[in-house]
């Protein structure tokens, strides 16, 4: 492995959920410990399954991995870190502000940015405190901090003055005054991150266009703060051991095309390719095989295995939607699970049944026009441009809140407006206009705002509370949030893959939405190998490993559709329509 040659002290693995970065990080830590090194494996991933990989309880304390002398693990709980961070911010004003204002501040500090910087606060000592962690030869991180977090901590110490003097409002990051005492340690940590002699960045991807585009985006963002070197690991490439049938030939063709068109910014980086394994990477014996070529070892005879995973085809969901003549359908989930395809298939099916349908996306990586590959009668297609939405929103904030700030204050405000939460709020403003159309037609949305964004807008007195204050009690009104909370008007469909991390991340998203009063309507398990009914022993072994996750999804929702992994990409009206006609029979 190129990324394992002459490894520095710190190794950071990053990539989209479900690409296998936890498996690669765990296998790396295992490999280093087997060479006689003292190794600490640290996860900062909210969907961490490091404990599951090693089959033991780890948690927020350094825990030895008994099977591997010299290997220790630590799981930083992002929610605990964020809760402690919020308490440091809120404690000084508790008793001074009304409860509803405190609740608004707390919700404002519950977003991804707050969790991110709170987690960074937790693991800063791992990078900079030699007195505590100097005993380890290597510290391996599963999930790296983003460029936004590091840029924020590099700003001049203007945040406290900027916020405490009333020049600006607390953001989703909150005032950093509670962290100022750690600023020298932050500086040391950031220096370590940007020193290639100390730190190595490993970008983990699947052999998929969207996954490769994501690590390019991450790499370019980290370039901006001085991390200019990296290694690429393309994980889960279908091996020759998978056999030769229509499905495997098609998958190899797709994977080859994606890797041939690898984005330019990362094309020249050192690259390793890891083959897909027949079994899940759980347990030390399995991890020891990750960096080896795939073979038939460990593949059991699964010919008699009943892959009866079909609760209902996608058409069953369309049948239920078809009972009405309008409504809002939100397809949500993490990147790379196929939200765009599912949204387009549902929209095409409804249009073919004679409904007026508006299909739109808020996903910057979505390509609805390419997916549809032409127009469909009765179907309107649009795109909410996040870049334009954010530019408009930032310009407005800088022209109003930033108008009377000095140079340092404007720099701090501009950096805050680079946060992921800014994009969520800006896109929501445009998304709200689309929501109102669902009163008279079907509106199908590919990617929607998270529960945190909805609560943030509501709790801080945005549209919902403004309407409630301004409209007389005798008058009725409906805000976008109220429409999303109404199950008769809005159907939320969570899209996932039959893999551990995507299912766990979708479960977290479901809980996030419930906090906002939104109950997901259905789940779709996309690209299931088990549902494809493969013939080769290798793929049937992979299919067997999906069954536990499909059972988990069934326990989370009473309405589930499962789509098989297809030999051909579902592009174009005919193939999309075929998705809602699929009804494979279990064997």
pLDDT tens track for 389-405? 888 888 988 898 888 88
The arithmetic mean of pLDDT across residues 44-63, rounded, is 80
Catalytic-residue membership of 23: yes
Catalytic-residue membership of 21: yes
User: Which of 209, 294, 422, 501 is the catalytic position?
Assistant: 501
Name the pTM for this structure: 0.75
Assign 161 a pLDDT band (cuts: 50, 70, 90).
very low
CA distance 207 to 231: 15
Give the percent of the chain with pLDDT over 70: 78
- pLDDT (0 to 100) of residue 97: 79
User: Which of 14, 23, 149, 210 is the catalytic position?
Assistant: 23
Q: Domains, the chain, ranges and CATH?
A: 2-287 (3.40.50.300), 314-384+441-579 (3.40.50.300)
Q: Residue 370 above 90 pLDDT?
A: no
pLDDT by residue (tens digit) across 283-295?
899 899 999 887 6
- pLDDT (0 to 100) of residue 448: 62
Three-state DSSP at 436 gives: helix
The arithmetic mean of pLDDT across residues 293-322, rounded, is 70
Q: Residue 169 above 60 pLDDT?
A: no
- pLDDT (0 to 100) of residue 15: 82
Give the chain's mean pLDDT: 80
- 472-510: string of b/e by CB count within 10 Å (b at 16+)? eeeeeeebbbbbbbeeebbbbbbbbbbbbbbbbbbbbbb
- pLDDT (0 to 100) of residue 407: 84
Ranges 261-265, 338-342, 474-478, 503-507: which has the least confidence: 474-478
pLDDT by residue (tens digit) across 9-39?
999 898 877 788 889 999 999 999 999 999 9
Query: Strands (DSSP E) along 466-583, which ranges?
Result: 490-497, 522-528, 560-564
Catalytic-residue membership of 580: no
Instruction: Output the six-digit token pair for 50.
Output: 């490091």
Q: What are phi and psi of 223, to 5 degrees?
A: -55, -35
Ranges 62-71, 247-256, 437-446, 509-518: which has the least confidence: 509-518
Q: Residue 544 above 80 pLDDT?
A: yes
User: Which of 14, 45, 142, 447 is the catalytic position?
Assistant: 45
Catalytic-residue membership of 501: yes
User: Which of 15, 16, 17, 22 is the catalytic position?
Assistant: 22
User: Which of 17, 18, 108, 230 is the catalytic position?
Assistant: 18
Residue of higher predicted confidence among 535 and 168 = 535
In which residue are the tokens 């701090």 written? 412
* Cβ burial, residue 433 (10 Å; 0-12/13-18/19+): exposed
Q: Residue 93 above 60 pLDDT?
A: yes
Q: Residue 150 above 80 pLDDT?
A: no
User: Which of 20, 111, 236, 338 is the catalytic position?
Assistant: 20
Catalytic-residue membership of 45: yes
- pLDDT (0 to 100) of residue 77: 76
In the sheet that holds 522-528, the strands lie side by side as 379-383, 357-361, 442-446, 327-332, 490-497, 522-528, 560-564
Report for 157-171, 221-235, 291-305, 366-380: range of highest mean pLDDT:
221-235
User: Which of 14, 15, 17, 21 is the catalytic position?
Assistant: 21
């Amino acid at each position: 492995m190129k990324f394992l040659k002459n490894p520095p002290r710190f190794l950071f693995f990053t990539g989209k959920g479900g690409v296998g970065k936890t498996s690669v990080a765990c296998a790396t830590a295992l490999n280093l410990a087997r060479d006689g090194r003292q190794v600490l494996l640290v996860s900062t991933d909210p969907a961490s399954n490091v404990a599951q990989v090693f089959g033991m309880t780890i948690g927020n304390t350094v825990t030895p991995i008994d099977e591997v002398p010299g290997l220790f693990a630590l799981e930083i709980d992002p929610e605990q870190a964020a809760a402690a961070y919020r308490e440091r911010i809120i404690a000084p004003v508790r008793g001074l502000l009304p409860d509803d204002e405190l609740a608004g501040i707390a919700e404002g500090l519950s977003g991804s940015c707050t969790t991110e910087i709170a987690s960074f606060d937790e693991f800063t000592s791992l990078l900079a405190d030699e007195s505590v962690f100097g005993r380890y030869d290597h510290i391996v991180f599963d999930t790296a901090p983003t460029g936004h977090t590091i840029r924020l901590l590099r700003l001049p110490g203007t945040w406290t003055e900027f916020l405490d003097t009333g020049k600006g409002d607390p953001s989703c990051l909150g005032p950093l005054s509670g962290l100022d005492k750690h600023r020298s340690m932050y500086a040391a940590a950031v220096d370590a991150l940007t020193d290639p002699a100390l730190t190595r960045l490993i970008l983990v991807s699947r052999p998929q266009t969207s996954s490769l585009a994501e690590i390019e985006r991450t790499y370019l963002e980290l370039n901006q703060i001085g991390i200019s070197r990296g290694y690429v690991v393309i994980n889960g490439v279908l091996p020759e051991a998978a056999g030769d049938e229509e499905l495997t030939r098609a998958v190899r063709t797709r994977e080859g095309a994606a890797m041939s068109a690898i984005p330019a910014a990362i094309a020249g980086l050192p690259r390793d390719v890891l083959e897909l394994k027949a079994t899940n990477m759980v347990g030390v014996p399995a991890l020891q095989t990750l960096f080896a070529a795939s073979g038939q070892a460990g593949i059991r005879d699964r010919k008699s295995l009943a892959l009866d995973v079909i609760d209902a085809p996608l058409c069953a969901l369309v049948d239920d939607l078809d009972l009405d003549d309008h409504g809002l359908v939100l397809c949500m989930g993490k990147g790379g699970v196929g939200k765009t395809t599912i949204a387009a298939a549902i929209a095409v099916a409804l249009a073919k049944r004679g409904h007026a349908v508006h299909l739109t996306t808020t996903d910057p990586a979505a390509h609805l026009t390419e997916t549809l590959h032409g127009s469909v009668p009765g179907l309107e297609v649009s795109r909410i441009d996040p870049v334009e939405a954010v530019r408009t929103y930032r310009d407005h904030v800088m022209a109003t809140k930033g108008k009377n700030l000095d140079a340092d204050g404007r720099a701090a405000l501009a950096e805050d407006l680079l946060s992921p939460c800014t994009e969520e709020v800006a896109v929501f403003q445009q998304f709200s206009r689309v929501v109102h159309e669902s009163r008279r037609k079907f509106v199908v949305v590919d990617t929607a705002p998270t529960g945190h964004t909805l609560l943030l807008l509501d709790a801080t007195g945005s549209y919902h509370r403004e309407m409630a204050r301004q409209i007389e009690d005798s008058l009725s009104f409906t805000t976008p949030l109220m429409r999303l909370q109404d199950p008769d008007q809005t159907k939320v469909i969570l899209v996932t893959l039959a893999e551990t991390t995507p299912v766990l991340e979708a479960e977290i998203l479901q809980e996030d939405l419930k906090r906002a009063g939104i109950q997901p309507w259905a789940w779709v398990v996309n690209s299931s190998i088990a549902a494809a009914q493969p013939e080769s022993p290798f793929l049937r072994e992979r299919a067997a490993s999906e069954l536990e996750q499909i059972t988990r999804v069934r326990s989370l929702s009473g309405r589930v559709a499962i789509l098989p992994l297809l030999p051909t990409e579902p592009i174009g009206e005919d193939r999309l329509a075929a998705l809602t006609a699929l009804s494979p029979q279990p064997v």
